[in-house]
Amino acid sequence: MSPQLSSLLAIVREQGEFASSTDLRSDVSLKGDGSVVTGTDVAVERALRKSLPCLAEGTSFWGEELGWETIAPAGIWLVDPIDGTSNYASGNPLWGISVALQDSVGLRLGCIVLPELGFELCSERGGGAYWNGERLPFLSATETKPHELISVNDSALRQLDGNVIGKPRLCGAFVVDGAFTVRRWFKSLYGVNEKLYDVAATVLAAREIGLDARYCDGSDWNERDLLTNENIRMPWEIGFING
């Protein structure tokens, strides 16, 4: 693991410890779209906006709670400060923090911390993916079998008319479903309507073990096309794309 990736993990881990212990968890309100937000979401994003530029100068920032900036010459940080906020606010441990850095080439650094599950996933383009500090092996392609677990949200399942292989499961937080897919507790993942900051760290880690992302109609999934502050409108998947 490179020094820069180790430093990113330390920053995100610190925010995970804060989120697990703060009373801001109970400071709950609803956003305009009806989704839940807590004081922790805002506090974590503010802290990351201060600390992340120290790892890569000249970068911009896109976080779920405090807004969108266009990509800077050195790249853009993609941050979901608390993913699975409804779980988090209710005391359910299925939540986490997701941070990624994207440059002009594509996704470069990624980190997911699931504090109350005790799991950490981080990755670097060309440098591998690490689960709790241990490098994950590069995988050989295999087909998903009907009895194997997959992650798929309700919207994606409806748009795909149920045409997925495997037993559907959903944790209620993309950061958990994504991490579990990279860890291979889910064989594949289907999604729709996320934003890039929700999924970026998962996609990079998946690539580093031999998985990839694509739209379910077979077209290419390219993160450079998703820097628009818009939802991912087409169903997409993470799995053995060429397997």
Report DSSP letters for 139-179, one per residue: PPP-PPPTTSEEEE-HHHHHHTTT--SSEEE--S-HHHHHH
CATH superfamily of the 3-135 domain: Fructose-1,6-Bisphosphatase, subunit A, domain 1 (3.30.540.10)
42: Cβ contacts below 8 Å, ≥ 6 apart: 65, 66, 81
In 3D, which of 32, 39, 120 has the Cα closest to residue 82?
Answer: 39
- Can you tell me the distance from the alpha carbon of 239 to that of 169, in angstroms, rounded to the nearest whole number? 15
Map out the domains of the chain as residue ranges. Answer: 3-135, 149-239
Residue whose pair of structure tokens reads 């399942």 in the numeric block: 157
Going by CATH, does the domain composed of 149-239 fall within 3.40.190.80? yes
Half-sphere exposure of 127 (CA within 13 A, CB side): 16
- The sign of the dihedral angle between the CA atoms of 176, 148, 232, 90 is negative
Question: Global pTM?
Answer: 0.94
pLDDT in tens, the chain (243 residues): 999 999 999 999 999 999 999 998 888 888 877 788 899 999 999 999 999 998 998 999 999 888 888 888 899 999 999 999 999 999 999 999 999 999 999 999 999 999 999 999 999 999 999 999 999 999 988 888 999 999 998 888 899 888 899 999 999 999 999 999 999 999 999 999 999 999 999 999 999 999 999 999 999 999 999 998 889 999 999 998 755
Query: Which tokens go with 210?
Result: 């031999």
- Can you tell me the distance from the alpha carbon of 47 to that of 181, in angstroms, rounded to the nearest whole number? 28
φ/ψ bin of 184: left (φ > 0), alpha (ψ from -120 to 50), beta (otherwise): left
Query: Which tokens go with 106?
Result: 């594509």
- The sign of the dihedral angle between the CA atoms of 44, 49, 51, 56 is positive
